[in-house]
Structure 1
């Protein structure tokens, strides 16, 4: 089998690229021939250094690095991206059996759907966010700091000032969304597009939004690339950790405030617009981005729990899964997909994303015996059914078998999405 994986970058700029790269490696290790096509030039992650992986760069520019007017135009529809992608696919020495798209908004644009629809191979899209249905991609109202309850592209959605930047940005994203849906319906009207959901919660929200479209739906966990080792001793730590981008929608500020209220230190690994605000909270330490091995060592040495208190309906934050795999308790938002992997009160806590609820959970983490019990149970439960790269690759192969006719794929019914 030959699988083509498409994404924006060959290095993990975010969760989508991280999963795309790890998927390529896992498939290659399983004996699948993989071509990874990425839009933007740049260094490649070492995981892509495998004899079974061919890497193709389209030499595009990240639209975030363009002047605003040009980035807006190319973000809506990039003819150059379409031309280069079509040429790259035509130049492959072996015809792809399946095409798998992970991210397109930063370089490939919705034009990618038009190109993929013209290929003979079936197409899958992993939904790491809500961009296939929601204009701002996170189904979150930045104007009210709450998850959205509006139907995407409804009159209420069109009128809402929900974009994190401005109404002008919202207008551009609305146009992109309409163009994207038109390209999908026009291109995939006679064959289904496979959608891969990374959590039960995100599937439950997205499937009704996309009801009646040319889609069939699958659930596959993201891979967690953590080697099995002895469980950590979280009771030896002094802090609650947040790993990722420091934004309000991800709840970084909630961790700092709640930890301070509970009398614990807080440790922030990553960066983002709230970095200086976090440093101003007593007991908070910001260490910046670190390599994965450094992050794991730091968490094992310093941390009593990892927290992911997302205000938005996060699909599946990997840091929670990585903490559980290491035997570190996790505290997740009841809005996030990661909460599905936590046994509340047994391997961590699932709470509302507010300071009071988090402070109460963090306060319980001051009990050494409880923290050790939570950590041991987290490690045991995770490794009883680990979300390894091999497990992920096997699930992808099962999906691809269904898409290519080796197994029967579900039917779909075409109707309007909006």
Structure 2
């Protein structure tokens, strides 16, 4: 089987890129031929070096690096991206059996969808966010610091000042959403959800686009080792971008109320504020360094998302190491946390989080939660191999369905004649 993975970057700067890269590697290790096409030239993850993995770049600019007017027009419809992608697909030595799109908002734009849909090859989109339906991609009101319940592209949506940057940015994103709907037309898209909450949310709304829903867990590249000893840890640890919507400030406030240190791995807009308040901020670290910090320092890992996050991967990675997790119910990965048994699922509010943190001051409870987290995760681990096999099964299913549709179109059944 030949699979084309299409992403915008070839190195993991976030969860979506990480999953795209790891999926490509897992599929190659599972015996598939993989072509990884990335839009933007730049750093390349070593995982993309494999005998059955070919890598191509479209050498496009990231729209955030462009002047404002060019960024706006390219973000709505990037004809150059469509042309370069079509040429790259035409030049492949072997026709792909499936096309898998992971990202499209930073360089590719909706313009690539007619190219992909016009190939007559099954197309899959993994939904790492909600950009397929929501203009700002996250169903979140940045102006109100709360989740958004408006219908996408409704009148109320169009007038809402929900964009994290400005109303002008909102107009561009609305234009992109409208272009997306026109690009897809009446075609039904096969989409992969990485959490149950994402699937339920998308199935329960009028998306403006026809969707066929599939569910596959993200891969977690954590080797099975002896479980960590969280009762020896001294801090609640947050790993990720330091932003209000991800709740970094909530961790700091709740930890102060609970009398526990908070440790932050990452950077972002809240970094200076957290440092000024006396928090320990380590900045970005590579995965091996993060694992070492977690095993040495963490009593628990906290992911207190204010917005509807489809991840984050840090929840799975913490559970795999035997660390309790404190997660927001708005985090998709919270579905893997058994409240009161492997951690706590609490609302993203300082009082609720502080209550969970106070409970974690009990060494016996913390140790018990950690052991249960480890045992629960490794009963059904989200390994790269399992992820790849799930993808291959989906590709085969979609390939068979595509052949049946082609046969039905080529050989219509004639109505029985009246006797």
TM band (smaller chain): over 0.9
4+ long deviations beyond 4 Å: 406-410
Indicate how the Cα distance of structure 1 residues 409 and 12 shifts in structure 2: closer, same or farther if over 3 A, else same: farther
For normalisation by structure 1, the TM-score amounts to 0.95
Whether the aligned pair in 2 keeps the contact of 1:309 and 1:333 (CA below 8 Å) is yes
Cα distance change on mapping 1:212 and 1:402 into 2, 3 Å: farther
Structure 1 residues 409 and 206: CA distance shift in structure 2, 3 A = farther
1:130 aligned counterpart, secondary structure: coil
Query: Quick one: distance in 2 between partners of 1:303 and 1:26?
Result: 29
> How does 1:32-51 map onto structure 2 within 5 Å?
32-51=32-51
Q: Does the residue aligned with 1:288 lie in a helix, a strand or coil?
A: coil
Q: Distance in 2 between matches of 1:67 and 1:237?
A: 47
Aligned equivalent of 1:248: 244
Counterpart of 2:149 in structure 1 is 149
Which residue in 1 is equivalent to 2:373? 378
Matches within 5 A, 1:260-279: 260-279=256-275
Q: Does 1:86 align with 2:75?
A: no
Partner residue in 1 for 2:18:
18
Superposition RMSD in Å: 1.4
Preserved contact between residue 402 and residue 409 of structure 1 (Cα < 8 Å)? no
C-alpha separation between the residues in 2 aligned to 1:111 and 1:307? 38
Report if the CA contact (8 A) 1:257-1:281 is conserved.
Answer: no
Secondary structure in 2 matching 1:209: coil
- Which position in structure 2 is the counterpart of 1:289? 284
Match for residue 389 of structure 2 among 382, 391, 394: 394
With over 3 angstroms needed to count, the CA separation of the structure-2 counterparts of 1:236 and 1:13, relative to structure 1, is: same
Aligned to 2:224, which of 200, 222, 228?
228
Cα gap change, 1:234 to 1:163, in 2 (>3 Å): same
User: Can you give the 5+ residue segments of structure 2 that lack an aligned partner in the other structure?
Assistant: 406-419
Structure 2: distance between partners of 1:262 and 1:409: 60
**Pairing 1:111-260 to 2, within 5 Å after superposition:** 111-185=111-185, 188=187, 192-210=188-206, 213-260=209-256
- Change in CA separation of 1:407 and 1:326 when aligned onto 2, cut-off 3 Å: farther
After TM superposition, give the deviation of residue 213 of structure 1 in Å.
3.6
| TM-superposed deviation, 1:208 | 2.8
Aligned length: 405
1:108 aligns with 2:103: no
Q: Give the whole-Å Cα distance in 2 for the aligned partners of 1:87 and 1:407.
A: 24
Q: Is the 8 A contact 2:152 2:207 kept in 1?
A: no
Structure 2 equivalent of residue 415 of structure 1: none
Structure 2 partner of 1:413: none
Matches within 5 A, 1:351-362: 351-362=346-357
Indicate the residue corresponding to 1:308 in structure 2: 303
Partner of residue 367, structure 1: 362
Higher gyration radius (CA) = 2
Offset at 1:43? 1.9
Cα deviation digits, residues 60-92 of structure 1 (max 9, x gap): 000011111111110101111011000000000
Q: Secondary structure of the equivalent of 2:246?
A: coil
Displacement, 1:107?
0.8
The 8 Å contact of residues 133 and 209 in structure 1, kept in 2 or not, is answered as no
Preserved contact between residue 122 and residue 402 of structure 2 (Cα < 8 Å): no
Matched, 1:325 2:320: yes
SS at match of 1:322: helix
Structure 1 residue 406 displacement after superposition: 7.1
Q: Structure 2: how far apart are the matches of 1:20 and 1:279? A: 33
User: How far apart, CA to CA, are the structure 2 residues paired with 1:408 and 1:346?
Assistant: 47
